[in-house]
A and B are shown apart, each in its own frame.
Chain A
């Protein structure tokens, strides 16, 4: 079996946000505009959280890319009344957009606050419409969405491997954020395969899960050698 997973090395992250832009372009995420963003309605599936250490002027910034953790025991799934979000056999928390009625219960129960909602119908005024990714649907208003681990790329990778009559090899499938990261801080692959790069990263002594004590069993592993991952108090 496959369990798709991601590892993010925070010691390599520079906070450049290339991954955020790549994610929006790959996944047809609507840009809501200045006014809506100010109201807290920006729709990034992946965000760079900034945490500051020290007193001005001796401040150091820590960056943390936060996306859907694709939890093994996801709090968002049981609360959805219509099965619009569910766990697929390869360990993804899949979203069925056509099934979603917009109760937003899943978003309330996500401890990472990574789910974003289409408050209005998406608008892609020309020429933005010509850069839409044909492999990804454009979501209607009133529907919840979130990081899919670039499920369309996973599908394409599996199709290609099937045509060539071989198994999917480690590194065949690269997510948009991973591909665009200039410091190679992100890796993606099968956590069930002990030889995959992501499995090796996950075994690092620097590895930890975000809010790990909730036991949501995330599919995203973070790596950091700093003391800051310990609670401040």
Chain B
């Protein structure tokens, strides 16, 4: 698909920025629907705080349920963005240019929601700050040996890092928006975001270096976050959880589910905002290849994990293993294997399968599969404790379901708002790409010509309208 003509700056502005000046009824409906779901989220959480954590379905021995499953799930999704976009930036993959912004936004919003779930899960959420090392008169510290405290450190670092990583490349675009906006609240909003950006060579130089440093620094942070999330389980001695493979297994699963969300979001954005020219078939082809690779790696880890457990013959481990593969949890387990491994490999191995619609559909399946994976990690291990007398069962309550579905609404609400306020495809990076590589898809153009891109990003008068 390299035959596409190079659009002029005016067309680029018109399509990527011009739409921000108009109201779209479809997006309005979407915003309202997601806003309604967000209210469900708020109501259910409020109900739980007022009545006690007992309104959930968790019990003894299944002390952790949907909230922890969704916590791991959303943190996994957050790996869509920052990690993938950082890897693509560091390796100077040219086809990253239309993808990075939407991916980074997914990261930030998914992290915000994922970070809420451990708080929703607490028995006494009002004193959650006991987990934070804050100065207090009684000289009390949190317990730094607890993986939950590591979690807080890792997630806080990641959320600050990804917010910066989303924000830095946004500055030149915010400046363009500022210059296009009529005087008023909107203009002031963009002016604050643009931080006085004027597009000088010095500013471009600082920005490029800032992005470069962050892109490298954020990769170990992202890897550490999901490793530490896995250690919430792997550091225990609960059969089915204590496993040395969990760190890398979780990171792979996180990237896998992250790409799934990215594929869905990009297919929707491409259609909903008519971005076919920017999110080309080639972008989908490349991401599809990465997607099927992650599916195979995930399958390998799953196989290795279960083979070693089965082979060991450990009595307690085998109990958990049995309910997973043949017992009460066999249906979700094998469903997970089909949607996470069989279908992605069957569809994405062929070029025709790596188009927007099939990749998005496979992505939906993988989201279900990865959610099931987290369910199958949390619940079977807890419901099958060592002492058989305590074997238990778990069924979520309507409050847990409401919060789970409502969280999707909160996410969609934030994402819709973002696409309405700011360009979801990075305008200056697209221009830079065309300047260097013609079609914006050429192989290895570098991006350090600060001065040239500086002039390119200066606001172009008369760019509005499509």
Q: In the complex where A101-B123, A111-B237 touch, is A79 in contact with B393 (Cβ < 8 A)?
A: no
For chain A residues 66-105, which have a beta carbon within 8 Å of chain B?
A: 66, 75, 78-83, 99-105
A113 interface residue (CB < 8 Å to B): yes
Which B residues are within 8 Å of any A CB, using their own CB?
51-54, 57-64, 118, 121-125, 127-128, 130-131, 140-143, 145-149, 152, 232, 235-238, 315, 382, 385-387, 389-390, 392-393
Q: Are A141 and B236 in contact (CB under 8 A)?
A: no
> Beyond the given A103-B122, A107-B60, could you list 15 further A-B residue pairs with CB under 8 A, ordered by the A residue number?
A42-B60, A49-B387, A79-B235, A81-B142, A81-B148, A101-B125, A101-B128, A104-B58, A107-B61, A108-B238, A112-B386, A119-B59, A142-B122, A211-B387, A214-B237
Can you report 27 residue pairs joining A to B where beta carbons are below 8 Å apart? Answer: A40-B59, A47-B389, A75-B236, A79-B145, A79-B146, A79-B235, A81-B131, A81-B152, A82-B131, A83-B143, A101-B123, A101-B127, A101-B128, A101-B130, A102-B122, A102-B123, A103-B118, A103-B123, A103-B148, A108-B238, A111-B385, A112-B387, A113-B60, A142-B53, A143-B124, A231-B315, A233-B315
Q: Which of A40, A100, A214 has the most CB of B within 10 A?
A: A40
Q: Are A41 and B60 in contact (CB under 8 A)?
A: yes
Which residue from chain B places its CB closest to the CB of A41 in the assembled complex?
Answer: B59
Q: Are B54 and A141 in contact (CB under 8 A)?
A: yes
Q: Are B124 and A102 in contact (CB under 8 A)?
A: yes
Partner of A100, one of B63, B124, B142, B393: B124
Q: In the complex where A101-B128, A119-B52, A120-B54 touch, is A40 in contact with B61 (Cβ < 8 A)?
A: yes
For chain A residues 13-69, which have a beta carbon within 8 Å of chain B?
A: 36, 39-42, 47, 49-51, 66
* Contact digits for A182-197, partner B, Cβ 8 Å, 1 yes 0 no: 0000000000000000
**Whole-angstrom distance between the alpha carbons of A211 and B387 in the complex?**
9
Number of interface residues of A (CB under 8 A): 46
Which residue from chain A places its CB closest to the CB of B385 in the assembled complex?
Answer: A113
9 closest residue pairs by CB, A with B: A102-B123, A142-B123, A119-B54, A40-B59, A104-B63, A81-B148, A142-B124, A113-B390, A49-B389
A109 interface residue (CB < 8 Å to B): yes
Q: Are B146 and A78 in contact (CB under 8 A)?
A: yes
For chain A residues 143-163, which have a beta carbon within 8 Å of chain B?
A: 143-144
**Whole-angstrom distance between the alpha carbons of A119 and B55 in the complex?**
8
Q: Are B130 and A82 in contact (CB under 8 A)?
A: yes
**Whole-angstrom distance between the alpha carbons of A108 and B64 in the complex?**
8
**Whole-angstrom distance between the alpha carbons of A91 and B59 in the complex?**
29
**Whole-angstrom distance between the alpha carbons of A140 and B127 in the complex?**
13
A168 interface residue (CB < 8 Å to B): no
Which residue from chain B places its CB closest to the CB of A105 in the assembled complex?
Answer: B148
Residues in B neighbouring A100, C-beta threshold 8 A: 123-124
Which residue from chain B places its CB closest to the CB of A79 in the assembled complex?
Answer: B146
B70 to chain A: closest CB distance in Å? 16
A121 interface residue (CB < 8 Å to B): yes
Q: Are A211 and B386 in contact (CB under 8 A)?
A: yes
A118 interface residue (CB < 8 Å to B): yes
Q: Are B52 and A108 in contact (CB under 8 A)?
A: no
Residues in A neighbouring B125, C-beta threshold 8 A: 101
Q: Are B235 and A118 in contact (CB under 8 A)?
A: no
Q: Are B52 and A142 in contact (CB under 8 A)?
A: yes
B55 to chain A: closest CB distance in Å? 9
Residues in B neighbouring A49, C-beta threshold 8 A: 387, 389
Residues in A neighbouring B232, C-beta threshold 8 A: 105
A132 interface residue (CB < 8 Å to B): no
Q: Are A81 and B146 in contact (CB under 8 A)?
A: yes
**Whole-angstrom distance between the alpha carbons of A140 and B64 in the complex?**
20
B355 to chain A: closest CB distance in Å? 44
Q: Are B63 and A82 in contact (CB under 8 A)?
A: no
Q: Are A116 and B54 in contact (CB under 8 A)?
A: no
Partner of A141, one of B123, B142, B235, B393: B123
